[in-house]
Amino acid sequence: MQENTRQRLVDLAEKESWSVEDHDELLQTLFQTVNAANKFRDFLAKLEADTPAPKGAAALKIGIGRYMVCRFREALDVLAGATDNKDRHLFQGLCRLHLRDYAEAAEEFERAKARDADAGAMDLRIAEAQALGGDLDSAAKIVGRLEKRLSDVAMFHYVRGLVRELQGFGAEAADAYEQARTLDPACAEATFRLAYYLDLHGDEDEAIELYRECVAHPPVRANALLNLAVLYDDAGHYDDAIAMAKRVLAINPTHPRARMILKDAEASKVMYYDEEQARRLAHHNAILDTPVTDFELSVRARNCLKKMDIRTLGDLVMTTEATLMSYKNFGETSLHEIKEMLAAKGLSLGQAAEQDLPAGGRDLLAMLTGGDANDDDAPEAAGGNDVSVAQVAFSVRVRRALEEMGIQTLADLAAKTEADLLGCSNFGQTSLNEVYAKLSEHGLQLAEGR
């Protein structure tokens, strides 16, 4: 079987030109080949080097190859000089579609149809381009005209669902996508769009499963890989997110979104440990907030601490031994009691007041004062509204959005409106619900709309 696959790839590679059928067969064959992305990229690079100024059939072959590795603008450059046939205009239309040049895409599909491409298939592509471009009325007319003739075609139900989704009828759109998948479980367009719809509406678990289907068989959409990477990143599955981004970069090493997502996912692995440290600090903070009255101290020691306004373990670690001993009626016995109590918690008198603190001590002092341990002007302990967002267990997606907006504390966040947050890229209803929940835990809420 492997020998047959290898020979078929050789046969396809040696063809003078490629067609849409060759493209489809290449996808299927490459999908069964180990390290296919790198091998195909190397093959295309050699083909381009051997044909520096391609025309006609060679230009069509190279244009299709560039389309396959997501180099859409470069594909258009070379396809402009390719043989003028239905395949050239189909791939020019597909490149335009990916580049969101929807009006130009529709025109190219019309040209492909005029050169004997399947009329029904091209009409569906035209309707797809019109719908994505905002011309929903024209797209709906095509769908209505094709309904009787193509009701058993998966792509028809995908386009019908796309039109209904963009018209605001989400439930009907989801049903249409499901119908397309019933007719053809490998209908990548319908599977991707249904996954995207569920992703936007907060059903992330189901979206992940559908994106997995998208990337399990050809043609694999780069956007499916990258959207799945984002969901993996949000779920804390950083290695999986990195693997998805790298699959795109194996085909197109300069893909900007893939590079950004890879960088974020790799940073998230480091951030994971930062969050662990934040949780440990929060645990220490809870210990430091423990009232001294919770411990079995002598009446004398208890009364002295009360009169000195030392109420918590945190107050004690900010107090030196000399300070305690200078207080009237505070003797060695009381000092011994308190030192034993602190030692049981891994603390000591004056721990946060030392000038030369070890790293852990500097963290402790920063936590107690709400500032930098090396800052002589560190502010007093922060109030509830000034809790740093870094200390709140936000998802990676929300955390990034808050950083992008320059929001450092919960007070900053509470000063924002829903519209402020939703105006940030990649910040949707799910993220907004998360913000509401976290603010509520601290007795806060977003500002009213202005």
Residue 418 sits in a domain whose CATH number is 1.10.150.20
Q: Is residue 209 part of a domain?
A: no
Does residue 352 sit in the same domain as residue 435?
no
CA neighbours within 13 Å on the CB side: how many for 433?
5
Q: Is residue 69 part of a domain?
A: no
Q: Is residue 431 part of a domain?
A: yes
The pLDDT, as a whole number, for residue 276 is 55
The Cα-based distances of 141 to 112, 119, 134, 177, 281 in angstroms read: 20, 15, 14, 19, 61
Q: How much is the average pLDDT of 316-331?
A: 79
CB 204 within 8 Å of CB 232: no
Classify residue 138 as exposed, middle or buried by CB count within 10 Å of its CB (0-12, 13-18, 19+).
Answer: middle
Highest-confidence range of 22-36, 183-197, 354-368, 431-445, by mean pLDDT? 183-197
Which one-letter DSSP state was computed for residue 379? Answer: P
Does residue 284 sit in the same domain as residue 322?
yes
Residue 365 has pLDDT above 60, yes or no: no
Does residue 392 sit in the same domain as residue 322?
no
Does residue 305 sit in the same domain as residue 390?
no
Q: Which of 382, 409, 425 is the last residue of a domain?
A: 382
Residue 40 has pLDDT above 80, yes or no: yes
- Three-state DSSP at 73 gives helix
Lowest mean pLDDT among 33-42, 70-79, 127-136, 155-164: 33-42
Comparing CA positions, the residue from 216, 20, 28, 63 lying closest to residue 9 is 28
Does residue 312 sit in the same domain as residue 398?
no
The pLDDT, as a whole number, for residue 362 is 38
Which one-letter DSSP state was computed for residue 292? Answer: G
pLDDT in tens, 406-423: 888 888 888 888 878 887
Q: Is residue 217 part of a domain?
A: no
Does residue 401 sit in the same domain as residue 344?
no
Residue 357 has pLDDT above 70, yes or no: no
Q: Where are the alpha helices (DSSP H) in 115-203?
A: 119-132, 136-150, 154-166, 170-183, 188-200
Domains of the chain: total: 2
Does residue 362 sit in the same domain as residue 397?
no
CA–CA separation, 286 and 368 (whole Å): 11
More confident residue, 382 or 212: 212
Share of the chain above pLDDT 90, in %: 35
CA–CA separation, 365 and 351 (whole Å): 8
Q: Which of 331, 365, 382 is the last residue of a domain?
A: 382
Q: Is residue 364 part of a domain?
A: yes
The pLDDT, as a whole number, for residue 4 is 77
Q: How much is the average pLDDT of 8-37?
A: 85
| Residue 432 belongs to domain spanning | 386-441
Does residue 298 sit in the same domain as residue 397?
no
pTM for the model: 0.60
pLDDT in tens, 387-399: 777 777 777 678 7
Q: Is residue 351 part of a domain?
A: yes
Residue 156 has pLDDT above 90, yes or no: yes
The Cα-based distances of 69 to 228, 261, 340, 441 in angstroms read: 19, 18, 68, 47
Residue 73 has pLDDT above 80, yes or no: yes
Does residue 283 sit in the same domain as residue 371?
yes
Residue 428 has pLDDT above 50, yes or no: yes
The Cα-based distances of 171 to 176, 194, 352, 417 in angstroms read: 9, 11, 59, 29
The answer for 237, left when phi > 0, alpha when psi is -120 to 50, beta otherwise, is: beta
pLDDT in tens, 268-305: 776 554 555 555 656 666 677 778 777 778 888 888 88
Q: Is residue 355 part of a domain?
A: yes
Does residue 316 sit in the same domain as residue 390?
no
Does residue 282 sit in the same domain as residue 359?
yes
pLDDT in tens, 129-149: 999 999 999 999 999 999 999
Lowest mean pLDDT among 54-68, 138-152, 223-237: 223-237
pLDDT in tens, 235-270: 888 889 999 998 888 877 888 888 888 888 888 776
More confident residue, 228 or 412: 228
Does residue 278 sit in the same domain as residue 374?
yes
- Three-state DSSP at 347 gives coil
Q: Which of 382, 399, 432 is the last residue of a domain?
A: 382
Q: How much is the average pLDDT of 367-382?
A: 38
Q: How much is the average pLDDT of 18-40?
A: 84
Q: Is residue 202 part of a domain?
A: no
Q: How much is the average pLDDT of 98-103?
A: 92
Share of the chain above pLDDT 70, in %: 86
